[in-house]
Amino acid sequence: MKKNQILSVLAGAFLLGACAPKDGGGQLVGVLERPTWAPINPYGMQYVPSGTLHIGPSDQDVNSSLVARPKQISIQGFFMDDTEITNNEYRQFVHWVRDSIAHQQTGHTVDYPNGVQGVDWEQELDWNPGGELDGMFYSGDEQLGGRRNLDIRQLVYDYQWYDWRNAAQDFDWKTDYNRGSKKKHNRADYIKKDALRIYPDTLCWVRDFSYSYNEPMTRNYFWHPAFDDYPVVGIAWKQAMAFCYWRTNLWDGFEELNTEDFRLPTEHEWEYAARGGHELAPYPWGGYYVRNAKGCLLANFKPGRGDYPADGGLYTVRADGYFANDYGLYCMSGNVAEWTSSAWYENAYAFIHDLQPDIRFDAEEEDPTSWKRKVIRGGSWKDISFFIQTGTRHWEFQDTTKSYIGFRCVLTFLGRSINDFK
């Protein structure tokens, strides 16, 4: 009898719920029939929980302590790629741009209901010689030894971003919300657009080192399968930004409720993730030395007086070539230095906020060169141990490409803690 009563109550509750008015029946119940949501788990990324971080020199660095003063900051949780973006991962971006241009040149387009014309990906492309895509390859005097090489100058990608800071400064809710207000802001004014070539600068291997034979790396590093899982290099800051935009659009096609963008980390998000939960640790593994108890080097850098291969790699190594830190992130020290979204100001620690600090500047082409400096972190395969410390700051011009600078992406976590959903 008791079992039947329980079933009756459940059936009654179900019927009442099914018949409940969508407007809440005059009660304040919120908007009904909202989609359910659980935190996403992006492939190849690790969750870095919210927490506090003490920034500043990690060692007895007297000179840096004069400008990089110690400061406590708080960081919101985020996902971060467990490795630097690899050649094969970036190649997916290059192939997508290549194929989209090829589809457009061959007329493989489709009209969507919203009036936007897009690529018809269902159509097959004919890359055989003598076909309609021959124009995408070098020809005539530009051919080398009769080889059929893709003309990488044509691989141009259009990307966009929204200027949230200027939009927030210009918008005045007291006047813009009033009826009949003459003050109007056009949303298009804050949608920034750019177009750039996205193929890596493979010639950086030759240009970076005078009187040094690195042509084999120029010829092979990006395209040869032997280097598929090595970090991509020769990427300018804007190319990394364009990759993040493309990756966001790629992800949004499969995850409807994702409202956050893949992006470059701020320099302090990067440092917080690099420390792996170890307070004031100069290296991601938590110790004060670059060798373990057996004398093995723990990162890919320039040890001693320049014994490059002593750590197992003459140049770069696989993106997961050394043990991960306690957040599951590989090669946060050494291998390749990494772009961040932060603009370089030597005394930034003196004025940044202690909550999710962020300092950015979108330099225009005509701006002074000094305005185009972006923070890089982590040090690289060609750097001495000082530069692979978690607290060491350095910079590079945003429009330069180097054989020792790569990047990885982050994605802001929407929620308090990922443990709330387990």
Predicted confidence (pLDDT) at residue 324 exceeds the cutoff of 90:
yes
pLDDT for the residue numbered 86: 98
Q: Which residue's entry shows tokens 């997508």?
A: 96
Q: How far is residue 316's CA from residue 318's CA, in Å, rounded to a whole number?
A: 7
pTM given for the model: 0.90
Provide φ and ψ at 296, rounded to 5°.
Answer: -80, 135
Distance CA 110, CA 151 (A): 26
Side chain identity at 338, as an amino acid letter? E
Nearest to 197 by CA among 93, 118, 105, 103: 93
Q: For residue range 88-100, list pLDDT tens digits in order.
A: 999 999 999 999 9
Model confidence band, residue 404 (pLDDT cutoffs 50, 70, 90): very high
For the segment 404-414, the average pLDDT, to the nearest whole number, is 95
Residues of the chain with CATH 3.90.1580.10: 45-86+198-421
- State residue 376's pLDDT score: 98
Residue 10 has a pLDDT of 44
Q: What is the mean pLDDT of the chain?
A: 88
Sign of the CA dihedral running 330, 336, 342, 345 = positive
Crossing angle of the two packed helices 87-105 and 237-252, in degrees rounded to 10: 70
Under a CB-based contact definition with an 8 Å cutoff, are residues 299 and 323 in contact? no
CB-facing half-sphere around the CA of 414: CA atoms within 13 A = 11
pLDDT tens, residue by residue, 164-220: 988 888 877 666 555 555 556 788 889 999 999 999 999 999 999 999 999 999 999
**How large a percentage of the chain has pLDDT more than 90?**
65
Q: Report the SS3 class of residue 110.
A: strand
Residues of the chain with pLDDT > 70, as a percent, come to 85
Q: Which CATH superfamily is domain 45-86+198-421 in?
A: paralog of FGE (formylglycine-generating enzyme) (3.90.1580.10)
Q: CA–CA separation, 378 vs 366, rounded Å? A: 30
